[in-house]
Amino acid sequence: MWTPIAEEAERAARVLHPHGREMQRPAQRRILTVANQKGGVGKTTSTVNLAAALTSYGMRVLVVDLDPQGNASTALGVEHTSGTPSVYEALLGEIELADAVQESTQSPELLCVPATIDLAGAEIELVSMVAREARLKQALNDEALDELDVDYVLIDCPPSLGLLTVNALVAAAEVLIPIQCEYYALEGVGQLLNNIELVRAHLNTSLNISTILLTMYDGRTKLADQVTTEVRQHFGDRVLRTVIPRSVKVSEAPGFGQTILAYDPGSRGAMSYLDAAREMVAQQDAGTGR
């Protein structure tokens, strides 16, 4: 008999015994910026859990924490107290990227450039700097990333459209937009799209919105389905089929310095991030130059 417990056990087995889950590393490194200027939509949660999921498929992944709150750094269990070599010093060109990279507690294949509270000043400090929009791109140069040998770079943005987010959009080829299945889900998305267009027109012609991820889906509400339908109508097949469910476990994991894959591998949250990451890898095979 197929009981919920059996189902859960099966899921756990899939996560705990990853053999056969190895996937082809992409021919070309992919750099994705995870952006949405609305706070609390699941940017950080999606960044760290997708990164962990990609790692479990055999990819080597770098997470760049670009939010002064440092939530991604926390979730990956990396040191990020003020003064720790971080993305801030790398943006200012004071240190090389490699000097700020730490291994996550999740896996030695999952790296993180942490953000400290020092980054809070960067939004203003950058204004008067030369090539202020391209500082992150410089830090994430090919040589530095080759040395780290990473297949994916995921950049976690702060909840604003300021210079830090612009730096993230200039440094990446792809944008991943998490959209929360909630009231006003699309509020502000228009503004984000405008900004992405501006960056594409003036600063980074290869930028493209490759991926939309629906987060915090609550199947009990009609609203969640309305949002899902609306987003799919608007963005078509760029919306991943996998939808991330609302789950307490997902929100608990960062408190333990863990991703959901480590915290509760058999949970629906873990499975959904694994499925979403698998779809992302499939995009790569389909030649995501969208």
What residues form DSSP beta bridges with 174?
Answer: 32, 208
Of residues 247 and 258, the one with the C-beta less far from ligand ADP? 247
From ligand ADP, Mg ion, none, interface partner of 288 (C-beta below 5 to 8 A by class): none
In sequence order, what E strands does 99-230 have? 102-103, 110-113, 152-156, 174-180, 208-215
- Report which residue type is found at 272: S
- Among residues 68, 70, 77, 159, the one that binds ligand ADP under rule CB under 6 A: 159
Letters for 97-136 (x = contact with ligand ADP by CB under 6 A, - = none) are: ----------------------------------------
Q: Does the footprint of ligand ADP cover residue 267 (CB under 6 A)?
A: no
From Mg ion, ligand ADP, none, interface partner of 247 (C-beta below 5 to 8 A by class): ligand ADP
Q: Does the footprint of ligand ADP cover residue 259 (CB under 6 A)?
A: no
Q: Does the footprint of ligand ADP cover residue 179 (CB under 6 A)?
A: no
Tokens of 158: 């702060």
Instruction: Tell me the C-alpha distance between 24 and 115, whole Å.
Output: 30
Query: Using H for helix, E for strand and C for coil, what is the string for 58-90?
Result: CCCEEEEECCCCCHHHHHCCCCCCCCCCCHHHH
From Mg ion, ligand ADP, none, interface partner of 104 (C-beta below 5 to 8 A by class): none
Binding segment (CB under 6 A) for ligand ADP, from list 33-41, 58-66, 135-143, 165-173 = 33-41
Q: Does the footprint of ligand ADP cover residue 221 (CB under 6 A)?
A: no
From ligand ADP, Mg ion, none, interface partner of 244 (C-beta below 5 to 8 A by class): ligand ADP
- Among residues 84, 86, 106, 215, the one that binds ligand ADP under rule CB under 6 A: 215
Do residues 226 and 236 make contact, with C-beta atoms less than 8 angstroms apart?
no
Contacts for 100 with CB less than 8 Å, ≥ 6 apart: 85, 86, 87, 89, 90, 113, 114
CA 94 centroid distance within chain: 25
Instruction: Tell me the C-alpha distance between 33 and 172, whole Å.
Output: 6
Q: Which residues make up the interface to Mg ion (CB under 5 A)?
A: 43-44, 71
Q: Does the footprint of ligand ADP cover residue 170 (CB under 6 A)?
A: no
| Site for ligand ADP, rule CB under 6 A | 39-45, 71, 159, 215-216, 244, 246-247, 250-251, 269
